[in-house]
Amino acid sequence: MDKPVTILAIESSCDETSCAVSRDGRLLSNIIAGQSVHEQYGGVVPELASRAHMQHIVPVVDAALKKAGCALTDLSAIAFTQAPGLIGSLLVGSEFAKSLALALGIPLLAVHHMQAHVLANLIPNETKQSSAEASAKASPSAAEASAKASPAFPFLCLTVSGGHTQIVLCHSPLRMEVIGETLDDAAGEAFDKSAKLLGLPYPGGPLIDRHARVGNPDRFPFPEPQIPGLNFSFSGLKTAILYFLRDNCASDPGFVDKNLADICASIQGRIISILLHKFRKAARKTGVRDLCIAGGVSANSGLRTAFLDMAAAEGWNAFIPPFEYCTDNAGMIAITGHYKYLNGDFAPLSVSASARAVW
Ligand code: KG4
Ligand code: ZN
């Protein structure tokens, strides 16, 4: 029998230090250490993030190996996030990965973070909420339409994170085409910057999500930008929110406190409608019927529900990663590394991390 393919993967692109172990494309562990140090600064401080990665990386790798029940000698290759991200943070993970691959004499797999977010939809995991289950909550017909466990190629993915907003056409695990993207802010930034204007701590996306659950999304109609094609823009919305809050707070200093749930629901509702309007357009244009969402903002409860509703109404198959694979995690790096391993797509030990990355 062939030796199983066992990948140890490291993710350190921003403010989560994560390590996962996969065997033959199934995840055995996925350990994530967050960094609360940034909360008091209202955003990620790159220097502090690098130092926290230095502190966390060895214990996180150790925990991932133990949880997986794996020894270092079981590993077939080391995968790591090569780009994009904060350069100091990426360097901690990439240099650790290179050293480990060198010491063990095994190949190195350099992974693109955004490609990995997309492939989170291919993680076969026991705890993964199947699209059928998820869709059943939206409507019974959607459950029938989405009875598949994972998307079939070609599929479309709306990747929404703190730094990116993209519509990706995926031909195969390693062949992806960006067919739409943001011209300015990312969707996650729109959430985080709006939250900051409302006086909420970083990261604001999950807090807006929480307040929005009990708010009225139609109370404050924020504008939807008219951008041609499949691209997005969120800077106009940010400016509209800034002026809206400035004007209302001038006449009533308690305006935000009194209306927080409705403001959050209205902001979230507009971000979702901007995203799904373009995603629907992309699906109709390409004729692709399997649709996924990915990235930190795909953890948003309003987006998840609205996406499932849209897919049900259009008769498309909808796929959403479970929460732990939406925000940054090494599980998605492991799965991408697995496909790269099968493809023989190895990186030299001289490979360097990069803050920016073209597709
Ligand atoms: O993918 P991710 O973890 O990191 C990047 O690659 O950027 O995404 C982080 C982003 C942040 O902007 C955060 O506010 C947002 O995802 N986010 C959310 C939610 N959970 C995370 N935004 C809205 N609702 C959520 N529940
Ligand atoms: Zn990410």
Q: Decide whether any atom of ligand 1 lies within 6 Å of the 162 Cβ.
A: yes
Instruction: Check whether the bond before 203 is cis (ω within 30° of 0).
Output: yes
Model pTM?
0.92
Contact 209 CB / ligand 1 (< 6 Å) = yes
| pLDDT by residue, tens only, the chain of 359 residues | 688 999 999 999 999 999 999 999 999 999 999 988 888 888 889 999 999 999 999 999 999 999 999 999 999 999 999 999 999 999 999 999 999 999 999 999 999 999 999 999 999 855 444 444 444 444 443 443 445 789 999 999 999 999 999 999 999 999 999 999 999 999 999 999 999 999 999 889 999 999 999 999 999 999 999 999 999 999 999 999 999 999 999 999 999 999 999 999 999 999 999 999 999 999 999 999 999 999 999 999 999 999 999 999 999 999 999 999 999 999 999 999 999 999 999 999 999 999 998 77
Does residue 14's CB lie within 6 angstroms of at least one atom of ligand 1? yes
What's the gap in Å between 295 CA and the centre of ligand 1? 7
Residue 342 and residue 335 in contact, taking contact as beta carbons nearer than 8 Å = no
Q: Residue 155's beta-bridge partner residues?
A: 170
Question: What stretches of 105-139 show up as alpha helix (H) in DSSP?
Answer: 113-119, 131-138
User: Which residue's CA is the closest to the ligand 1 atom numbered 2?
Assistant: 296
The CA distance from 184 to 246, in Å, is 23
What are the distances in angstroms from CA 167 to CA 64, 179, 229, 267, 314?
Answer: 32, 6, 11, 21, 18
327 touches ligand 1 (CB under 6 Å): yes
191 Cβ inside 6 Å of ligand 1: yes
Closest Cα to atom 24, ligand 1: which residue? 300
